[in-house]
Amino acid sequence: MHYDVFNGDADGIIALLQLRLAQPKEATLVTGVKRDIQLLDKLSLRDNDSLTVLDISMEKNKAGLKSALNIGAEVFYADHHKSGEVPEHSRLEAHINLDANTCTALIIDQLLEGRFHYWAITAAYGDNLVAKADELADLAGLTAKQQEQLKDLGVLINYNGYGSKLQDLHFDPAELFTELLAYDDPFAVIADQNSPYPILKAAYQRDMEQALSISPKYKSDTLGLFELPNEASSRRISGVYGNLLANRSPGTAHAVLTANSDGTYTVSLRAPLNNKQGAGDICSQFPSGGGRAAAADINALEKGQIEAFIQSVESYYRSEH
């Protein structure tokens, strides 16, 4: 058996999309909502199985990876999140790049020597690497209109991945990947009125209008913190809403809190775009928190910890960082 294991956001989907356009393979798809990252724990592997693992933290999947290698599985692993120590193993091919200005789809783009470069640029936009995506798009000779189209599509694919459960999403990420696999060019997705694009665009506009009507819960020169209600639309929009806020005020960190039904909050933290570090370190201080330098999450922040979270963000970005 071969398993394609990938994050359900734009970066994970498009990283796999490039690989399977270049190297078609029968595979069992293993994915979930964007925050469902311990995906290797879901597998029941046997000797001689193989895995392609994309855009999920190796550190968070250390036990699953070790188990897969011990069973005898071959593993191809590409990612840009916190990895911890990368094991040296004859059956592991690892491509890990922790640079804050890269993403998994760009790692795959390099391995494929730019074969599906427009898709990689789309993923970079979706992962909020806007400056990097603009640079790549300029080098590729894309017009300003074409760049906006790829940015739009990347944001929409990323938006679809947010939710506490698959039922919150408009498309199961495995289904969305399968539908997009029919297009070797992202512009073809945008041009096709029967593609997922128009459905996601209309839904995104509705959800974003609701989010933009909310005033900040906390505001300083260092941090803007916004609280969204316990609704499926909030869970869907939280990540891309945080990216939008970050792009509007690049000198400020931004946190989006979404109320959970158990009284806790899901937190999306974005580091200032002009100082893309620290988000993962800050979120890792709290149970269920983690991520990368530029963007990180806490799955269940207790209400009583909000003040400590604010102080942690304030302290980090007011220091020498």
Task: Give pLDDT tens digits for 22-59.
Answer: 999 999 999 999 989 999 999 999 999 999 999 999 99
Q: Are residues 192 and 225 in the same domain?
A: no
Q: Is the pLDDT of residue 88 over 90?
A: yes
Q: Are residues 178 and 261 in the same domain?
A: no
- For position 304, what pLDDT does the model report? 96
**Structural domain containing residue 311:** 214-318
Based on the structure, what is the number of domains in the chain?
2
Q: Are residues 225 and 195 in the same domain?
A: no
256 assigned to some structural domain: yes
- For position 182, what pLDDT does the model report? 98
Q: Are residues 267 and 229 in the same domain?
A: yes
Q: Is the pLDDT of residue 82 over 90?
A: no
CA-based angle 66:69:71, to the nearest 5? 105
Q: Are residues 151 and 92 in the same domain?
A: yes
pLDDT in tens, 106-128: 999 999 999 999 999 999 999 99
Q: Identify the domain boundary among 148, 179, 201.
A: 201
Q: Is the pLDDT of residue 321 over 80?
A: no
312 assigned to some structural domain: yes
209 assigned to some structural domain: no
Q: Are residues 139 and 234 in the same domain?
A: no
35 assigned to some structural domain: yes
Q: Are residues 293 and 154 in the same domain?
A: no
Q: Is the pLDDT of residue 102 over 90?
A: yes
Q: How many other C-beta atoms can be found within 10 angstroms of the C-beta atom of residue 152?
A: 19
Q: Are residues 186 and 240 in the same domain?
A: no
Q: Are residues 7 and 155 in the same domain?
A: yes
Q: Is the pLDDT of residue 161 over 70?
A: yes
The answer to whether 56 touches 43, Cβ cutoff 8 Å, is: no
- For position 217, what pLDDT does the model report? 96
Q: What are 305's two structure tokens?
A: 């910890």
Longest distance between any two alpha carbons in the chain, whole Å: 55
Q: Report how far apart, in Å, the C-alpha atoms of 223 and of each of 233, 294, 321 are.
A: 24, 14, 14
Q: Are residues 45 and 152 in the same domain?
A: yes
Q: Identify the domain boundary among 201, 232, 262.
A: 201
Q: Identify the domain boundary among 140, 170, 201.
A: 201
208 assigned to some structural domain: no
Q: Are residues 172 and 286 in the same domain?
A: no
Q: Which residues on adjacent β-strands are paired with residue 6?
A: 54
Q: Are residues 57 and 197 in the same domain?
A: yes
pLDDT in tens, 183-238: 999 999 999 999 999 999 999 999 999 999 999 999 999 999 999 998 999 999 98
Q: Is the pLDDT of residue 320 over 60?
A: no
- What angle separates helix 117-126 from helix 144-160, to the nearest 10 degrees? 60
Taking all residues of the chain, what is their mean pLDDT, rounded to a whole number? 95
119 assigned to some structural domain: yes
Domain of 257: which CATH number? 3.10.310.30
pLDDT in tens, 243-295: 999 999 999 999 999 999 899 999 999 999 999 999 999 999 999 998 889 99
206 assigned to some structural domain: no
Nearest CA to 108 out of 243, 239, 13, 240 is that of 13
- How are beta strands 253-259 and 265-270 bridged, if at all? antiparallel
The identity of residue 50, as a single letter, is S
Residue 239 pLDDT level (bands cut at 50, 70, 90): confident
207 assigned to some structural domain: no
Give the whole-number percent of the chain exceeding pLDDT 90.
Answer: 93
Domain of 116: which CATH number? 3.90.1640
- For position 286, what pLDDT does the model report? 96
